[in-house]
Amino acid sequence: MTPLQHFTRRHFMGTTALAAGGMLFPCRRNLAVEPVVPFSNFLSTDKFLYRLQPSGRYIDSQRNNKAFGYAEGIIFLSEDNGHTWPHSIPFPDAHRINFSHILKNGNIIFTTGSKLYLSSDNLKTYRQVTVKTADGTDYIPHTPKNEENCGWYFHTLSGINSWDINGTEMLVWGNYCNVIGGATPVNIYYSTDGGQTVKIAYSFGRNPHFRDNGSAGGSTSGTLLGNPDNPVICRHVHIVSYNPVENAFYACTGDLDRGAGHECHWLRGVYDAMSDRWDWKVLVSTNANTRYKAGGINFVDGKVYWISDANGPKPYDRGIFRCDPADITNPGKHTMLFNPEVESGNMIIQDNFIIASHCAPASPMATGFIVSNDLGKTWAQYDLKEFGRRSPTRFHEKNSEGWFRVDLRSGWITHAEVLFIKPK
């Protein structure tokens, strides 16, 4: 087997360690777009193949045969799973992109800090989109204390963020923030028109522990952010997922109880397309040492699956769980499918193949993966230690060649590499 080239995002973008100032990436200078190196080399376990992305682009998202990527000062679109990149346009803030999504109609949403952009013509052009509130007025991001830490308004940990619902594709996601990038209000966003219009589906309250004082993760001093009329507070959204059986959305948030109220919640939301209105209910509010501090929510055959990120005092209430959605609030009716015995908050299920990951700072593994190829009947764990200490996240569904796309994050949140995984 040809050894896998250890190519990293830092390699082609010239990055260094994350600066104390807390930008998504440090400032980059004198960086050129490299030629694309073709996909070729891969490694193998008994259950899957894996390979790092080729050099020349950071491949940020994929859908079917399309892939969206960027290098310094330019964004790209591929129509053959990243083998060639015929579409591109200059974009000066490419190094600050922290979320992108390719919609079914070909539109591309991508974001930097507090700004959201849309291209609807294969990157011939793009425009900035102003988010709307529920009443249709403009939602204006706060004026940051430090422009370098303007907030992660749109970054998310999930790779699946849109669903076909009654003939319409709905894009729904929540922001994972208040770690680096600056203090940020926490919202759930949605679009029903291919990203042309983006609105707020739910706005969380003002958390006094994540005020904007100019620092990377917020502080107990500075400007309060969020909805002043909502007592439900959190640090960030872990995931939003959709259950087609109920025609309902589920969201999970984190993280702790810092004295101002629980930050870990499960919410259930129903969208009325006729009135363009949401009805959200908080199902669970609890502490960090619980199966409800979770991520990777998936719905398969009417059942809900999730993986726990519990990290409170021992004994830990964590594992991979399954139940009927009606029983989410009743732990006695949950089935634990597997316990990796480590904090884990990311998981995807497709074609009965389950792949989840370890949170590297809490794991004995360097780059840990949890895998089942029979919908949870049997399990195996793998340490891809050649990548160093990495937390896999943002699992995208398989492309048209059968490869999942996965972010590898240093620590648990700073972008590092992109990995592709193909079940055997």
Mean local confidence (pLDDT), 363-374: 97
For residue range 237-288, list pLDDT tens digits in order: 999 999 999 999 999 999 999 999 999 999 999 999 999 999 999 999 999 9
Distances (CA, A) of 201 to 165, 242, 250, 276, 413: 16, 14, 12, 10, 25
Residue 313 pLDDT grade (very low, low, confident, very high; cuts 50, 70, 90):
confident
For residue range 36-89, list pLDDT tens digits in order: 666 668 899 999 999 999 888 899 999 999 999 999 999 999 999 999 999 999
Residue 310 near residue 354, CB atoms below 8 Å: no
For the record, the structure tokens of 117 come out as: 């952009």
* pLDDT for position 228: 97
Cα–Cα distance measured from residue 375 to residue 353, given in angstroms and rounded to the nearest whole number: 6
Alpha helix locations (H) across 227-376? Answer: none
* pLDDT for position 314: 87
> 346-375 in b/e burial notation, b at 16+ Cβ within 10 A?
bbbbbeebbbbbbbbeebebebbbbbbbeb
Of 3.20.20.140, 2.130.10.10, 3.40.50.10490, 2.40.160.10, the CATH number of 9-423 is 2.130.10.10
For residue range 326-351, list pLDDT tens digits in order: 999 999 999 999 999 999 999 999 99
Residue 1 pLDDT grade (very low, low, confident, very high; cuts 50, 70, 90):
very low
* pLDDT for position 38: 64
Mean local confidence (pLDDT), 212-218: 96
Residue matched to tokens 């996240």:
393
Residue 375 pLDDT grade (very low, low, confident, very high; cuts 50, 70, 90):
very high
* pLDDT for position 58: 95
Cα–Cα distance measured from residue 186 to residue 273, given in angstroms and rounded to the nearest whole number: 23
For all residues of the chain together, what is the average pLDDT? 91
Residue 195 near residue 109, CB atoms below 8 Å: yes
Residue 412 pLDDT > 50: yes
Strand partners, 372: 354
Parse the chain into domains and list their residue ranges. Answer: 9-423
Residue 13 pLDDT > 70: no
Please give the sequence-ordered ranges of beta strands (E in DSSP) within 287-403, or none if there are none.
294-300, 303-308, 320-323, 335-338, 347-350, 353-357, 368-372, 380-383, 391-396
Residue 117 near residue 60, CB atoms below 8 Å: no
Residue 30 pLDDT > 60: no
Strand partners, 90: 74
* pLDDT for position 7: 32
* pLDDT for position 4: 36
- Percent of residues, the chain, with pLDDT higher than 70: 91
* pLDDT for position 272: 97
* pLDDT for position 419: 97
Whether the bond into 315 is cis, omega within 30 of 0: yes
Exposed/middle/buried for residue 279 (C-beta within 10 Å: 0-12, 13-18, 19+):
exposed
